[in-house]
Amino acid sequence: MQAGALSNALKKGAIWGFIVLELVFFSVAGEYLSLSDKAFMDLDNMLLLFKQSAPIGIIAMGMTIVMINGNIDLSVGATFAIAAIILLDSMTWPILAGLGDWVIPVSWLLALAAGTALGALNGLIVWKTGVDAFIVTLGSMLGYRGIVFMFNGENPTSHLNWTLVDFAEAQVLGLHTATWFLLGVTLAIWYLMTRTVHGRNAYAIGDNREAAVNAGIRVGPHMMVNFMIIGFLAALSAVVFYSESGSVNPNDGQLYELWVITAVVLGGTKITGGAGNIVGTFGGVLAIQLLRKGLGHIGADTSTVNLVIGLILIAVLILDRQLNVKGKEALKT
């Protein structure tokens, strides 16, 4: 085995090692520090952990493919909010009033279509103008947020549909609806990236764009499809979350892009594209959620979570650099 292979294996395993570490730490520390009698690794607690991971996790799957493809999407938080508003608002539209509970799938479809369309718009701009995805989505992050406010100004949009709430709160085989969605999306995206031509081409484009172009891969459409997927998933995340909560603030979803990117990078996806995997991202999402829950469990402030996650992100980067460090004879530029 070559040195590169070893560090690759280490990197792939690192996130799971980290999760085990977190579990052990919070279980032990919880014995001494926790105010509640419940153990940290309680079954209900763990089931809840999966459910709470879903909103970020579903988007993170989309971010993983966009980043593997060599792009980034900063507008997911705003897309999330738009989809949420469309979901809740459309259920009150007079034109859909006659549908009864059949309004639910219609509203879902509307929200998902909106998300996909917003993603497509990002992708189209990146493809046709050649402007860097970072700038395009930085712009649409502002623009899409502006659209959010156009619906209801600064007021929240609320609508509770009890059938929907029942659906969202249901547990099948012990897992919550949201968890099922997270698992389903993870599986689907994993399949897409490892088994399909589109997925493999996405890797190739992010890895060596010139080689991909020379090999005749159509870079533009692949990028656009990936932006549509992340838009769809941002909307799906909103659909899953707001089916239960029933009320959306125009500022909801802010900073989601940062959480999502953090999870994806923790999961081992390279910021420059070409490398990364869905299972790693799943680990990254769980690790962040574990950290939030665990720190809460031992009575730490929510503020500590931000601090710790930020530092861990940087620590991962330093570790990665150490693993990739070349010999002493390397060129110092």
Partner 1 sequence: MTRTIPALRLDGIVKTFPGVRALDDVSFEVLPGEVHALMGENGAGKSTLMKVLGGLYQPDAGRIMVGEETVVMATPLEAKTKGIIFIHQELSLATELSVAENIYLGELPRKAFGRVDWRQLFDQTDAILGKLRVGFDARTRVGDLSIANQQMVEIARALTHDAKAVIFDEPTASLTDAEKVVLFDVIADLKADGVGIIYISHRMEEIFRITDRITVLRDGQYRGTVATADTDEEAVTQMMIGRALDLSRNESHHTRGDVALEVRGLSCGKLFQDVGFEVRRGEVLGFYGLVGAGRTEIAETLFGLRDPSAGQILLNGEEVRVHSPADAIARGISLVPEDRKGQGLVLGMNCRDNMTLPQVDDLKAGPFVAEGAEVAIFDQYRDRLDIRTPGWRQLVGNLSGGNQQKIVIGKWLSMKPDVLILDEPTRGIDVGSKSEIHKLIRELAAQGYAVIVISSEMPEVLHVADRIVAMYAGRIMRTFLSDEVTEDSLIQAISGLGEDRPAVPA
Partner 2 sequence: MTALSRERIGTLLARQGILIAFAIFIIAFTLANPKFLTVDNVFSVIRSSAILGVMALGVTFVVISGNLDLSVGSMMSFSTIVVLDLHDKIGPLLAIPAMFAMTLALGALIGLLVGYLKLNSLIVTLGMLSAIHGLTLTYSGGKNMDIADKEGTWFSVFGQGTALGVPVPILMFLALAALLGIVLAKTPFGRKVYAVGGNGTAATFAGIRRARTVFTCYLISAGCVATAGLIQASRSLGSQNTVGQGLELEVLAAVILGGASLMGGSGTVFKTVIGVLILGFIQNGLLLMGLQFYVQFVVTWIIIILAVWLDIAAKRGRLWSPIA
| Dihedral-angle region of residue 180 (phi above 0 means left; psi in -120 to 50 means alpha; beta otherwise) | alpha
How many residues sit close enough to partner 1 to count as binding (CB under 8 A)?
31
**Binds 158: which of partner 2, partner 1, none (CB < 5-8 Å by kind):** none
Q: Are 226 and 123 in contact (CB under 8 A)?
A: yes
Q: Which 222-281 residues touch partner 1, going by CB under 8 A?
A: 274-275
Q: Which helix (H) or strand (E) holds 126?
A: helix 103-129
Any contact of residue 154 with partner 1 (CB under 8 A)?
no
Any contact of residue 208 with partner 1 (CB under 8 A)?
yes
Considering the complex, state which of residue 28 and residue 213 has its C-beta at the smaller distance from partner 1. Answer: 213
Query: What number of residues does the chain have?
Result: 333
Q: Residue from 37, 44, 154, 329 that binds partner 1 (CB under 8 A)?
A: 329
| Dihedral-angle region of residue 27 (phi above 0 means left; psi in -120 to 50 means alpha; beta otherwise) | alpha
User: Phi first, then psi: what are they for 252, rounded to 5°?
Assistant: -60, 145
**Binds 319: which of partner 2, partner 1, none (CB < 5-8 Å by kind):** none
Contact positions vs partner 2 (CB under 8 A): 74, 125, 127-132, 134-136, 138-150, 153, 213, 218-220, 254-255, 258, 261-262, 265, 271-272, 301-314, 317-318, 321, 332-333
The Cα 153–Cα 133 span in angstroms is 29
The region of 145-153, 198-206, 229-237, 305-313 touching partner 1 under the rule CB under 8 A is 198-206
Helix, coil or strand: residue 158:
strand
Q: Are 222 and 147 in contact (CB under 8 A)?
A: no
Considering the complex, state which of residue 193 and residue 309 has its C-beta at the smaller distance from partner 1. Answer: 193
The Cα 25–Cα 51 span in angstroms is 22
**Residues near partner 1, by CB under 8 A:** 2, 4-5, 8, 195-198, 200-201, 203-204, 207-208, 210-217, 274-275, 327-333
